[in-house]
Chain A
């Protein structure tokens, strides 16, 4: 068989590598700013664009989609060509993938700063950018599948299985979770509401972790680890079993983000058991990675690439054990809504993704520049400082989480909450927050050393944009299984069938969990007293979404005595049916707000309190870490969108009367004048047309309807 000569496209790999470094530094510096805002809330600077709720999505999206995303493309574009013995399918698609992705990142950062967001965690992008993401993602997929189709190797290697699962699943997740109806060019409402929205969102959110942060990186591990160690993969059989088990089981585990919520019990149970069953399939990847290093451990001490890989794989093993533990109801009752989740996420992001990304960069940049890594010493410094950074980041958050959860739950002998003031439980964590910021700072110093080292490497080397390679052409083989050929071995040379099987594996869990929530009415029992939001409350709610209040405040009281005593009635599925999007949140740096408007409730505050609190939270309590929201007081509420918003809600079946859109603003102004009048009676002069009025209207609505339905909490607790 005659060898064919072809060229690997190294330029696209290099571009993605540079983008990875650039966005990595930016994403992490924003993260550090957020960490510092926990200690000095004044670092929100009193302007919207730098306030916590708006820049937190910039940080999370930048790290996930910009840093890890570009890192993933770097590794895939490098390894896929070599594993297929083929150049990328199309240089044009490669370029569109690269520039399209960078454009999306810039759009994301700008829109989030301007408060343009859907308010769904890790899916905050508004609809025009969602469409762009889908298009660019399909371009990537087409380019990848095209390359696989025109490969010169008979079989596709395990790394490519993981790349395929990544592409297929992220496509489905992104499209399904982003179905929304535009109100304006910058504002949409998701078609899902309340419990349904929560389930779809966390099915997405959890599996974005699975198929954006995990499967592509397992693929990268399967290529770069054996290459760097120069050792054979420990077990091909393990690869098969853990790959299929992982992608099949992962998709079911989303409900573990909603334990003790208003999600139906059966769906929660599925979330628990599928998370626990994920331990072995996840560890399959770690085991196959670490056992591949047998016989190379002496080199792990010497080679920075292997060193970073070992910590990455170990961090992966730790998070994939911790995750299932946090998914049991016993642990979740403590860890959920605390910073434990944040610590857990960072073991994954900093340890697994961050370290593996740098291992890949330290491996492939010197190769493409025909040189050695500039300095092993600097790489070792990066390694140790960043490792220390992870420890300083995570340990205080775990400690703080246990402290805070205990304080939330502690009762006095007389049966009262020991710490009824939520703020006490935050103030207690300040030293932990400071140490966490230090840990993050150390990690960034490590990254900067890495960037320096790679810049010097690139400077010293000579880039090979077109790397020559040769391989024999693919021999045509029978489409059906040959004698003695295992079924999986057959599948490995039939990529189209492989993609179909992967698609089926990932669709089953999602369909079984999500579809019944739409078809079976008993899953969301209706509550007669729950009514749609008034136009003013709806506008206020959109401000709540815009400012990212959900990044610190939950709207989900769990059925624990410590929560019903603190907040009031626990959450019911039926109370959220008009919430497009749901705003349950995932952590409580501030108290839950879902019972804020219950006049006889424990959380109730008068209008004038909310006004003063938004204007200057520290005046009410100097320990408060709530940012200042003074622009809500000076900015006019945009009521030009009210009619359109009402019409979109009607489209979803929200029962506003026919033609209500035309008179909605009359009702809005009437309600606004009432609030302004009440504030005036308290000596506060504010025009009814200001944003703060809408925000107060929304906060004062929270929880009212469900409490109007009767208060079983009171009868049972005897209070």
Chain B
């Protein structure tokens, strides 16, 4: 029976702690221990944290919401990274030919370009860059221009937000070396023949 019978307090043999009388379920007994102090404090601290958090973020609004965080991040980045200089494409540009630049260009090619032009430049989604035809001009400056501003309606995106001018010049220089390499399974020529 579940009465507070103080005369017959049962104790756990091993710990000497008080067993609750009447608390027996399929031979499972329960001890009358208090909540562990550290546990109570842990609970209180998290509750205090919650109250302060809601107060700071949602009541007095002194901590930034995510949209404000983003603005701050963008402003900070804008002041750190100077804007792109004027477009690099001009007819006087000359392709780089040193090995270091071409290797760097190839690196970019393998990461960014081959998913449309395939590894050897033979073309699949994008045009074949190894033959003697071109849609948007055959010169180095033309290639730089296409990479920089893109041909969005054809699926060639502008890379100026993802590559620096320096990187664009390197990858364009690498593209110039593809010409005449005759990789297997080339895409049919597109555009005008180069002079």
A82 to B27, CA, bound (A): 10
Contact with B along A223-259 (1 / 0, CB 8 A): 1001100011111111101000100000000000000
Q: Which residues of A contact B39 (CB under 8 A)?
A: 238, 280, 283-284, 287
**Shortest CB distance A318–B (Å):** 16
CB pair A716 B32 closer than 8 Å: no
Taking CB as reference atom, which chain B residue is nearest A717? B74
Q: Which residues of the other chain, B, contact A377 by a CB distance below 8 angstroms? A: none
- The answer to whether A265 and B65 touch across the interface, beta carbons within 8 angstroms, is yes
Contact B12 A232 (CB under 8 A): yes
| A-binding segment of B50-58, B88-96, B97-105 | B50-58
- Do B155 and A608 touch (CB < 8 A)? yes
Residues of A within 8 A of B70 (CB): 559-561, 564, 570
CB neighbours (8 Å) of A561 from chain B are: 70, 73-74, 77
Contacts of A234 in B (CB 8 A): 31, 33
Interface residues of A in 674-719 (CB under 8 A from B): 682-683, 713, 716-719
Size bracket of the B interface? 35 or more
Question: Is B19 in the interface zone, CB < 8 Å from A?
Answer: yes
- Return the contact of B46 from the options A232, A280, A417, A612 (Cβ within 8 A): A280
Docked Cα-Cα span, A295 to B67, in Å, equals 54
Total number of A-B contacts with CB less than 8 angstroms?
199
B138: interface (CB < 8 Å): no
> A147-166, CB under 8 A of B: which get 1 and which 0?
00000011101010000000
Q: What string of 1s and 0s marks CB contacts (under 8 Å) between B17-41 and chain A?
A: 0011011011111111111100100
Contact at B115–A621, with CB atoms within 8 Å?
A: yes
Interface flags, A540-570, vs B, CB<8A=1, else 0: 0000000000000000001111001100001
Q: A266, A283, A414, A489: which has the most chain B beta carbons within 10 Å? A: A414
- Is B194's beta carbon under 8 Å from chain A? no
A241 to B160, CA, bound (A): 59
Chain B residue contacts of A281, Cβ below 8 A: 43
Q: Is B161 an interface residue (CB 8 A)?
A: yes
Q: Contact between A232 and B29 (Cβ–Cβ < 8 Å)?
A: yes
- A431: Cβ under 8 A from any B Cβ: no
Name the residue in B33, B111, B164 with the highest tally of chain A Cβ atoms < 10 Å from its Cβ: B33
Interface assignment of A421: CB less than 8 Å from any CB of chain B: yes
Q: A236-B20, A295-B14 are in contact. Are A157 and B54 (CB under 8 A)?
A: no
Taking a contact as CB atoms under 8 Å apart, the answer to whether B157 and A226 are in contact is no
Say whether chain B's binding surface is mostly helix, strand, loop, or mixed. mixed
- Cα A85 to Cα B29 with chains together (Å): 15
Instruction: Decide if A437 is an interface residue (CB 8 Å cutoff).
Output: no
State whether A287 and B36 are in contact (beta carbons under 8 Å apart), knowing that A277-B47, A421-B112 are contacts in the complex.
yes
How far is the CB of A230 from the nearest CB of chain B, in Å?
8
Alpha-carbon gap, A245 to B84, bound state (A): 56
Which B residues touch A484, using CB under 8 A? 3-4
- A residues 382-427 with Cβ under 8 Å of B? 411-417, 420-421, 424
- A605 is an interface residue with CB less than 8 A from chain B: yes
Which of B28, B75, B81, B188 contacts A233 (CB under 8 A)? Answer: B28
Task: Report Cα–Cα, A269/B14, bound state, in Å.
Answer: 46
Partner of B2, one of A424, A489, A565: A489
Nearest to A280 among chain B residues (CB) is B43
Least CB distance from A682 to B in Å reads 7
Say which one of A23-31, A357-365, A594-602 lies at the interface with B: A594-602
**Considering the complex of A and B, which 10 residue pairs feature the smallest CB-CB distances, nearest first?**
A415-B81, A606-B155, A280-B43, A273-B50, A559-B70, A295-B14, A232-B29, A157-B25, A235-B33, A236-B30
Excluding A153-B25, A235-B31, 11 further A-B contacts by CB distance (< 8 Å) are: A83-B25, A223-B26, A236-B31, A237-B33, A265-B58, A279-B42, A411-B77, A420-B112, A609-B125, A683-B188, A716-B71
Chain A residues in contact with chain B, CB under 8 A?
79, 82-83, 85, 153-155, 157, 159, 223, 226-227, 231-239, 241, 245, 260, 265-266, 268-270, 272-274, 276-277, 279-281, 283-284, 287, 291, 294-295, 329, 411-417, 420-421, 424, 484-485, 489, 558-561, 564-565, 570, 599-602, 604-609, 612, 619-621, 682-683, 713, 716-719
A-B contact pairs, 16 of them (CB 8 A): A236-B33, A277-B43, A277-B46, A277-B50, A294-B15, A489-B2, A559-B66, A561-B70, A561-B74, A564-B70, A600-B157, A602-B162, A605-B116, A612-B125, A620-B114, A717-B74
